[in-house]
Structure 1
Amino acid sequence: MNFVEELRWRGMLHDIMPGTEDLLNKGMTSGYIGFDPTADSLHVGHLTQIMTLIHFQRAGHKPYALVGGATGMVGDPSGKSAERNLLSEDVLQHNLESVQLQLQKFLDFNTGANSAQMVNNYDWFKSFTFLDFIRDVGKHITVNYMMSKDSVKKRLEGDTGMSFTEFTYQLVQGYDFYYLWKHNDCVLQMGGSDQWGNIVTGTELIRRKDAGEAYALTTQLIKKADGTKFGKTESGAVWLDPARTTPYQFYQFWLNTTDVDAKAYIRIFTLLEREAIEAMEAEQDAAPHLRVLQKALAKDITIRVHGEAEYEKAIKSSEFLFGNTGIEFLNELNEAEVIGLFEGVPNFKIALSDLQAGINSVDLLAASTAVFASKGEAKKMIQGGGVAINKVKIESPESVYNADALIGGKFLVAQKGKKNYFLIVVE
């Protein structure tokens, strides 16, 4: 497998330094991508870089995943309009450990010569004094060179300016590359297209400091076809941590991809072969309503991130909402998963004491909660057979519900018609 060609046909390649492809074709090459631990989880925006490392390893090369214990303390100005908040050491350490565990799920750390390796730049920066740094690193890169970078220019031209801390980020990242080149024979740094300036600073430092050769490759920044930011939903970022974004929500994010975006994403975010993808594209073009690409995309990536069992649970969750799966399925979910399943669905709270005493359906849906705007409306629709509690049709406006009806001791699910759900949560 040719790494660069693989990125090309998948639509991932953005920039590549001359000589890089020849280098990769000569044999196993060591290369790295950095991940700053700004949160205790990676999100889907990081998946492009994770997939780049996966393809790199599959092509026979040795991938390094660098977690930025040092750079995470500084803040990368690339693509930012304002300076980000600095994290405490305790928070940073927690984030580092969480991100490392996630990265270990994607790469093979026990496959011989090209086994993946995890490194933390805090290991080589923790004893590097400020004076040593400006003498041994800073003297090799001019201020003119640093200010010529787009990431710096945009911030300096903006209203917020840039602190010295963020200004030095490209030197710190550049030294990462130098250190890995010097000690790990790592001759290639990869990243998103917004990282080109920082990466090239590293190649320049290697050249000026030790007359060495190093190379750079960047991938496309992923956007939706309508130009909006990839990986964002109304409720925020889509995380890889199931405690932040449940596997069902994660699955739905990919399943709800537009036809145009699905054609791009299935190449970028899956390991499916070209022939299989092109066959599915033809099938999608012939019958768009079947959403073949979206289903394959959602399945592949949900299994890789969360495992087959969670994928099956996500399927059952969809069938629960849109099919005939019974209410007992909710007993398989924890509280966070139930809340995630009904994200975007109106939620109402009710006191446990109201249910313990017993409450009739009309009062439950139109007094204790606001599923219906009035008792008259509730009564009329119940009499028409169009309302259900826990997927069982309410027989009469006088039907009484108590705590025994609760799912997991916490929830009631109300339905108006087949698709209008309401979650009632007991306090």
Structure 2
Amino acid sequence: MKDFLALARARGFIHQTTDIEAFSARLKSGVLPGYIGFDCTADSLHVGSLVQIMILRLLQQCGHKPVVLMGGGTSKVGDPSFRDEARPLLDDARIEANKAGIRQVFDNFLRFGTGPTDAVMLDNAAWLDQLAYIPFLRDVGRHFSVNRMLSMDSVKLRLDREQNLSFLEFNYMLLQSYDFLELFRQHGVALQMGGSDQWGNIVLGADLIRRVTGGEAHVLTTPLITSSSGAKMGKTASGAIWLSAEKLSPFDYWQFWRNTEDGDVGRFMKLFTEMPLEEIARLEALSGAEINEAKKVLATEATTLLHGRAAAEAAAETARKTFEEGEAGGDLPRVTIPAATSLTALLVQVGFATSNAEARRHVAGGGVRVDDVVANDPQAMVAAPAKLSFGKKKHALIVAG
């Protein structure tokens, strides 16, 4: 059995843990089920959740049991953490559809089954939907101090900004703590992991387990992942980097990693690939133009984990043909048009601009090319087939349909 904590620390996954000696001893005593919760707010996760997925994968590779908890119940409330307003409330049908999409993401990273270290996916609606309010207040609510809850950053920051916090959202941390308790009682789950912003909420859950059962639970949080320039992981100017091929092509996913900032290459290789640490150390030491080769390795290895080796290598080859040989690689994102379309409308349809006005500005700035020729008329009609480019890194094939 591999040393989970040592590997997690070496690859940069650990921000905080509870009693490290007790945690380490529990890991050595046998299979430890550990969970992370994911609310069903969309039909896919994006790359901002990837560090959580990867640490669940590492837990399984070290001989322990990953538990993926879908928030079928908590998605009806909405996590208020570090938000200025309440999340939109979702109905049951939307939540179920989102769960199905998210499950497809996890199938790429975890081995599910019935074995002792096989991953399982559970839904907190199984117990939250059955709660009776008065018994819940009596049996669970009495263990929580409102003073302590108000001191939690996820609540305090909202109140300090004088933003409304509904009683519904205020209850979220009780429900999250109750999840941990139910998983501990029903499935022997004694570890909860999550992002560093969830530390207070998770510790409340471990404390609830101790108060109610006398048992010991453990907590591990991962660091908030930002780029060297401070950008938040998972969001770009063109939108979220989704972990679903239906929402983001393997080529665009590969290209996201290829565009990693120089200072992040080694760190991202440790977190988002399974490359040996010695090889990562060699690649991150490269400088100048050579660092671009390291970025290509990062892109291919990260894309392989999500989409498979064949798709990753096809994306790499498409990028090579497009950027190094000037060809229109066949694996570029494709947009189908029924007839010739104005350049302005096409830029919006492809996603290179969010409005007609923005599209016209791109053209006026000289950044738009059709079949590698700079376009200067935003109203010019573009007929398929064609290659549409914006800047040096955004390309799409226009095909007839």
After TM superposition, the score normalised by the length of structure 2 is: 0.83
Q: Give the equivalent residue in structure 2 for 1:305.
A: 306
Q: Determine whether 1:338 maps to 2:334.
A: yes
Distance change >3 Å, CA 125–CA 290, structure 1 → 2: closer
- What is the CA–CA distance in structure 2 between the aligned matches of 1:37 and 1:188, rounded to whole Å? 21
Tell me how far 1:135 sits from its aligned partner: 2.3
1:279-309: per-residue Cα shift (whole Å, max 9, x none)? 2223x24x54352321121011111111223
Answer with 47-56 or 101-110: which moved more: 101-110
Tell me how far 1:415 sits from its aligned partner: 8.5
- What is the CA–CA distance in structure 1 between the aligned matches of 2:303 and 2:102, rounded to whole Å? 18
- Give the aligned residue type for 1:195: Q
- What is the CA–CA distance in structure 1 between the aligned matches of 2:231 and 2:278, rounded to whole Å? 30
Partners of 2:372 and 2:389 within 8 A in 1: yes
Partners of 2:334 and 2:397 within 8 A in 1: no
- What is the CA–CA distance in structure 1 between the aligned matches of 2:188 and 2:170, rounded to whole Å? 27
- Give the aligned residue type for 1:260: G
Q: Give the equivalent residue in structure 1 for 2:88.
A: 85
Q: Give the equivalent residue in structure 2 for 1:322.
A: 323
Q: Determine whether 1:169 maps to 2:172.
A: yes
1:354-387: per-residue Cα shift (whole Å, max 9, x none)? xxxxxxxxxxxxxxx99999xxxxxxxxxxxxxx
- Give the aligned residue type for 2:334: V
Tell me how far 1:112 sits from its aligned partner: 3.2
- Give the aligned residue type for 2:385: F
- Aligned to 1:112, the other structure's residue is in SS state coil
Q: Give the equivalent residue in structure 2 for 1:376.
A: none
- Give the aligned residue type for 1:412: A
Determine which of 249, 272, 282 is the counterpart of 1:269.
272
1:307-386 paired onto structure 2 within 5 Å: 307-324=308-325, 326-327=327-328, 329-330=329-330, 337-339=333-335, 347-348=343-344
How many residue pairs match? The answer is: 368
Q: Give the equivalent residue in structure 2 for 1:411.
A: 385
- Give the aligned residue type for 1:413: K
- What is the CA–CA distance in structure 2 between the aligned matches of 1:23 and 1:415, rounded to whole Å? 54
- What is the CA–CA distance in structure 1 between the aligned matches of 2:81 and 2:363, rounded to whole Å? 49
Q: Give the equivalent residue in structure 2 for 1:201.
A: 204
- Give the aligned residue type for 1:261: D
- Aligned to 2:215, the other structure's residue is in SS state coil
Partners of 1:348 and 1:425 within 8 A in 2: no
- Give the aligned residue type for 1:15: Q
Tell me how far 1:168 sits from its aligned partner: 0.5
Distance change >3 Å, CA 289–CA 145, structure 1 → 2: same
Distance change >3 Å, CA 274–CA 92, structure 1 → 2: same
Tell me how far 1:243 sits from its aligned partner: 2.3
1:234-288: per-residue Cα shift (whole Å, max 9, x none)? 1111111122222111111100111101121111111112122122223x24x54
Q: Give the equivalent residue in structure 2 for 1:293.
A: 294
- What is the CA–CA distance in structure 2 between the aligned matches of 1:113 and 1:415, rounded to whole Å? 50
Answer with 104-113 or 295-304: which moved more: 104-113
- Aligned to 2:88, the other structure's residue is in SS state coil
- Aligned to 1:204, the other structure's residue is in SS state helix
- Percent identity over the alignment is 40
Partners of 2:108 and 2:307 within 8 A in 1: no
Partners of 1:57 and 1:114 within 8 A in 2: yes
Determine which of 136, 150, 154 is the counterpart of 1:151.
154
- Aligned to 2:35, the other structure's residue is in SS state strand
Q: Give the equivalent residue in structure 2 for 1:118.
A: 121
- Give the aligned residue type for 1:186: V
Q: Determine whether 1:56 maps to 2:30.
A: no
Q: Give the equivalent residue in structure 2 for 1:188.
A: 191
Distance change >3 Å, CA 389–CA 63, structure 1 → 2: closer
Partners of 2:113 and 2:120 within 8 A in 1: no
- Aligned to 1:242, the other structure's residue is in SS state coil
Q: Give the equivalent residue in structure 2 for 1:179.
A: 182
1:93-136: per-residue Cα shift (whole Å, max 9, x none)? 11111112211221112483211111111111222222232222
Structure 2: stretches of 5+ with no match in the other structure: 337-341, 347-359, 374-380
Q: Give the equivalent residue in structure 2 for 1:12.
A: 13
- Give the aligned residue type for 1:318: A
- What is the CA–CA distance in structure 2 between the aligned matches of 1:425 and 1:216, rounded to whole Å? 51
- What is the CA–CA distance in structure 2 between the aligned matches of 1:102 and 1:414, rounded to whole Å? 30
After TM superposition, the score normalised by the length of structure 1 is: 0.78
